Amino acid sequence: KAGVTQTPRYLIKTRGQQVTLSCSPISGHRSVSWYQQTPGQGLQFLFEYFSETQRNKGNFPGRFSGRQFSNSRSEMNVSTLELGDSALYLCASSGRDYGYTFGSGTRLTVV
Amino acid sequence: AQSVTQPDIHITVSEGASLELRCNYSYGATPYLFWYVQSPGQGLQLLLKYFSGDTLVQGIKGFEAEFKRSQSSFNLRKPSVHWSDAAEYFCAVGSGTYKYIFGTGTRLKVLA
């Protein structure tokens, strides 16, 4: 079956702009989580969605938001981009077994 | 506070040698434990997971891990390393939710 698909793979944005990242989970998976990965902070949990509802949230400012659609696809949005938002953003989906399947990520560079 | 510690930032082993990557956790509830591997520029792949039961867990690619509650550890092992195992390895802990805590990773280098 198809894996977790994240689009786009690479993105370059300017400070102050906003960005939307997309994630299509494995078919049948209803939970979608987002993580930010940076060399300095490692992997940090952003939020998790289940059946279109945010179930868990990490310690990120309100500029980071997300949503999930009825087909379980998810988007995350970052507004007013800062240089420090440059990172690999990873999406992961999960079924009933609690083990994540990760996508390949979106590499965001803010200049 | 909940945390995961991977004390070794870098490890170098020769191909064919055995491998052990260390992971210690601090978690109030009964933990769910995971090991993931990440190749450069890629996402993370699940190697194995432990929820309950037998404390020795077998995973993919010949990896295994042992849960030791008394030591709060979940070390990853492989009897004979292959050059293709060179990657970064992450230990993670969670509970019944999906808000996992990841360690900082151990980068494995394999010498031919």
Q: What is the pLDDT of residues B8-36, one digit of tens each?
A: 999 999 999 999 999 999 987 778 999 99
Residues of chain A with C-beta less than 8 angstroms from the C-beta of B51: 98
pLDDT > 80? residue B38: yes
pLDDT at B7: 96
Q: Which tokens belong to A105?
A: 């990520």
Cα distance between residue A88 and residue A76, in whole Å: 13
Enumerate residue ranges in chain A where pLDDT < 50: none
Residues of chain B with C-beta less than 8 angstroms from the C-beta of A107: 41
pLDDT > 90? residue B79: yes
pLDDT at B1: 72
Phi, psi of A30 (to 5 degrees): -105, -15
pLDDT at A45: 93
Mutate to test the interface with A, among B100, B101, B102 (most CBs of A within 10 A): B100
Residues of chain A with C-beta less than 8 angstroms from the C-beta of B103: 42
pLDDT at B35: 97
pLDDT at B96: 64
